[in-house]
Structures are given as structure tokens and as C-alpha cells.
Amino acid sequence: MEARFHIGYPGFTLDAELILPASGITALFGPSGSGKTTILRCMAGLERSPEGFLSVADETWQDERRGIFLPTHKRPLGLVFQEASLFSHLSVRGNLQYGMKRTGHAEDETFEAMLDLLDIRALAGRMPDGLSGGERQRVAIARALLTRPRLLLMDEPLAALDLKRKLEILPYLEKLHDELSIPVIYISHSLDEVTRFADRLVLIENGRIAANGPLTEILARPDLSAAFAGEAGAVLETTVVAHEASGITQLKFPGGQIYIAGNAHAPGSRLRCRIKASDVSLALRKHTDTSILNLLPATVLAVADADTPGHALAQLRLGDEGPLLLARITEHSRRALAVAPGLSVIAQVKSVAILR
């Protein structure tokens, strides 16, 4: 997928160029007014860039130099916004059928599979005004997918939900990550959301692309910490090994293992864990007289000033070829331990500090 958009507004200019994978979830992340929604609207054909270009699955949807511009209704895409916007006079099944009829499809195995994927089979006969916010959004996602799009665009689909409803729908978004074979563009202000299921992170600042790459690499870049407003950290892709009687769970990742507070995932399950830089401390040798369970051998790759005075961020490589980690330390500790690229350290992480 390739996109180029340039639009000038009074006081703001969008100048974005993107090359993205043909599948997986790409999160557009940045502050309000940075241009995230404008990019999505350009992809949808709702906003027209005078010199724009968009190619999806080897099909050109826009190329202004060649006079090509497919209007929104001719683009095979699905749209999900903050509000579900279901038809109030139609049942859940009626809303889903409407989406399919627009593309000439009838109920089939795909329809049945979508009811199960988003767990809405029991809702099929109900009316939208009898659904919770999370249920309405699950129906809206199903309706968008039943049009069999080649691209799914999601503009802050959880922003209108309270915390309880967000937690209700997040597992279904994780399922979509595993099941969908089309590219998904997901806009969110919440780092907690995107770290749960995004594969790729595009950081947008003042209408321009500040960074674009795999989520695990972008999050662990110390030079980008200011973009995450004190929430800088890293994500580990792990596998559940075992649950211990003491109430902790053992996870493994390439080149090592960690312990977290106990959870219900079965051994063998994949689990994505987020570790904030502020929850990682450094030592020059492994200590045994400590309550910290995760003492991870690592090598310092880079060090940069943090987004707050007197602090520094150290980028670490766990083991020899393991994942990246970030550690926020004081400038005093940086000097006292002589933290610099190439230094071998022990990264110390409390098990209760690891988010998932």
C-alpha cells in the first residue's frame, strides 16, 4: 500500500508519504490536530489532495497526475468511526445485511463467521437502541467487514466508550489482528490501545510523518520519547510457559524469559506485554537479595536525553539477539554507572509493573 497526500490549509499543511504492508494493523498516532484523521479521510476519498496518490493491493485509487480519483462509494473499503452510526430502524441482522447488499453479497459462510468472530450472534435480533456502546461498535465493525473491503479504516473507534466498554471490545480487536488478511489503518490517542494489537506505528507531528516502522522498534527509540508524553516504553511478544502456584506466570521471548502477575491465558498462548521505561532500572551486576523477579541481562545500544530535565533514556538489547527495551534513569545514575553504548547491564523489572 502506497500513499502520498499534500494539502494546504490556513495555518496547517499536510505533507505525508507512506509505504505500508499489504496486511496487518497500522496505527496512526500523534496529538490532536497533527493530521491523522485528514490522512484517513484522504484514503477514504472524503478529502481530495490536489497532488494525491493512493494504491491499495496493486490497484490505483487516486493518481492526480493521471487524472484518477475513485469516489468513496467506488473504493472497496470499510469505515468505522467513533460513533457506530447504525440504522435505528433496522435490527442488528438488518444492519449487517444492508452492508452486504451494497456490495451485491448475500448471507453466506462469511456472514456466519463474522457473527462468531465478533460474538454478536445473540444480538442479531435486537435493535440498536438496546445495545451497549461496545456492542454497537462490534456490530459496526462487522458491518464494515461484511462489505469485503480491501482496506479497513478505523478512526478512534473506542473514543466514545467508557473504560469498561473499552476493555470489553479490546479482545475483539485483538482477534481481528489474528484473523484479518487486509490492511487496517487505526487512529487512536491511546498508547494502551495501539500497543495491544498494532503491528506498525506511524508517528505524525504537525502534518508530517515523524517515524514509520514496526511497533516494537518505534516505541523503543529513545529519541522519540517526547511523542509519548512520559509513556515511553517497549513491547515484548511472548509465549505463556506456565502458571506457578505462587500466583505468577512465566513467559518466554526470543533469548529470555520474564515473570508477570498471574493471568488466565493457557500455556502456549501468545501474549503481548508492555513495559514502561519508568519501570526499568539498571544494575551492573545481578543481585540475589531483591524482590524484583525479572533480572534481564542486556546491552546498552543508545542513550539519549529524556523528555524531562535530569533524566535519560537507555535503549537496551535483551540477551544477544533479543527484543529491545527502554530504561528511564536519572542523569546522576547515567554518570555514576557510566551508562553508554556497549555497556553490559542487568535490566530490573518488577513483575507487577508489566502491562498486558
Average pLDDT over residues 258-262: 89
Query: Domains (ranges, CATH) in the chain?
Result: 2-225 (3.40.50.300), 233-353 (2.40.50.100)
Match 547515567 to its residue by C-alpha cell. Answer: 334
Please list, in sequence order, all residues whose beta carbon lies within 8 angstroms of the beta carbon of residue 315, skipping any fewer than 6 positions away. Answer: 220, 221, 222, 300, 301, 302, 303, 304, 324, 325, 326
Write down the pLDDT at residue 336. Answer: 96
Q: What is the mean pLDDT of the chain?
A: 91
Please write the tens of the pLDDT for every residue from 44-87: 999 999 989 999 988 999 999 999 999 999 999 999 998 888 99
The 10 Å Cβ neighbour count of residue 157 is: 24
- Residue 245 and residue 249: Cα distance in Å, rounded? 9
How much of the chain exceeds pLDDT 90, in percent? 68
State the pLDDT confidence band at 105, using cuts at 50, 70 and 90: low
Q: For residue 20, which of 144, 191, 182, 229 has the smallest C-alpha distance?
A: 182
Average pLDDT over residues 337-341: 97
Using the predicted structure, report yes or no on whether residue 99 has a pLDDT greater than 80: no
Q: For residue 275, which of 231, 306, 241, 317 has the smallest C-alpha distance?
A: 231
Write down the pLDDT at residue 103. Answer: 66
DSSP 3-state percent helix, strand, coil across the chain (nearest 5)? 30, 35, 35
- Residue 191 and residue 318: Cα distance in Å, rounded? 23
Using the predicted structure, report yes or no on whether residue 302 has a pLDDT greater than 80: yes
Write down the pLDDT at residue 104. Answer: 64
The 10 Å Cβ neighbour count of residue 309 is: 7
Write down the pLDDT at residue 239. Answer: 94
